[in-house]
């Protein structure tokens, strides 16, 4: 089954409110009472809107609260793409979201390392792996100053 691409126009707020209940960042399907996206893997949670359409929960939450389709990228202020509380969401142009980097503690090759990353258009760009957070932060600062 082919699912339509995200970033299309979402259904009306009334239709979304008929399908979902918003509960502190979670979307609950009215029909079943189940939380959407519990089996979602990856950085962002998706929800099925109808038989042929899925979209990101953060986009659905944005429209349910603002009444508008997201025109820009919806950024998670705290960097956690699964934290869809409305107070954690903001609309940013792609270029601004791209320059919002972070340092992640990651498990790499059975060794705890630090990873300097940034994001662009929903994709994570890895700038490098480091043995300590200060080197990862320095890498990110250097990359940012070169932009």
* pLDDT tens digits, 126-145: 777 777 767 777 777 777 66
pLDDT-wise least confident of 56-65, 92-101, 111-120: 92-101
Residue 49 pLDDT: 93
Residues 91/72, Cβ–Cβ less than 8 Å: yes
Q: How far apart are the first and last CA of the chain?
A: 41
pTM above 0.75, yes or no: no
Tokens, residue 120:
């662009």
Domain boundary assignment for the chain? 13-92, 96-145
| pLDDT tops 50 at residue 5 | no
- Classify burial at 88, counting beta carbons within 10 Å of its beta carbon; exposed 0-12, middle 13-18, buried 19 or more: middle
Confidence grade of residue 105 (pLDDT, cut at 50, 70, 90) = very low
Query: What are the phi and psi torsion angles at 55 (to 5°)?
Result: -150, 165
The CA-atom distances, in angstroms, between 26 and each of 8, 20, 23, 37, 121 are 21, 10, 5, 9, 23
The CA-atom distances, in angstroms, between 39 and each of 35, 36, 46, 55 are 10, 8, 9, 14
Which single residue is written with the structure tokens 């918003």?
A: 22
* pLDDT tens digits, 82-102: 899 999 998 875 544 445 555
| pLDDT tops 50 at residue 146 | yes
Residue 42 pLDDT: 76
CATH number of 13-92: 3.90.75.20
How many whole angstroms separate alpha carbon 4 and alpha carbon 103? 33
Q: Average pLDDT, stretch 112-134?
A: 71
- In 64-121, DSSP assigns E strands to 73-76, 89-92, 102-108, 111-120
């Amino acid at each position: 089954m082919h699912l339509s691409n995200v970033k299309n126009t979402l259904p009306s707020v009334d239709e979304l409110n008929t399908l979902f209940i918003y509960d502190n960042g979670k979307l609950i399907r009215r029909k079943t009472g189940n939380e959407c996206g519990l089996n979602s893997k990856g950085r962002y949670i998706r929800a099925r809107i109808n038989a042929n359409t899925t979209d990101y929960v953060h986009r659905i939450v944005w429209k349910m609260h603002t009444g508008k389709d997201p025109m820009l990228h919806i950024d998670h202020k705290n960097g956690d793409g699964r934290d869809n509380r409305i107070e954690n969401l903001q609309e940013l142009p792609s270029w601004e979201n791209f320059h919002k980097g972070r340092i992640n503690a990651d498990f790499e090759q059975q060794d705890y390392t630090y990873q300097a990353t940034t994001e662009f258009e929903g994709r994570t760009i890895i700038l490098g792996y480091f043995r300590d957070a200060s080197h990862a932060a320095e890498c990110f600062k250097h990359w940012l100053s070169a932009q």
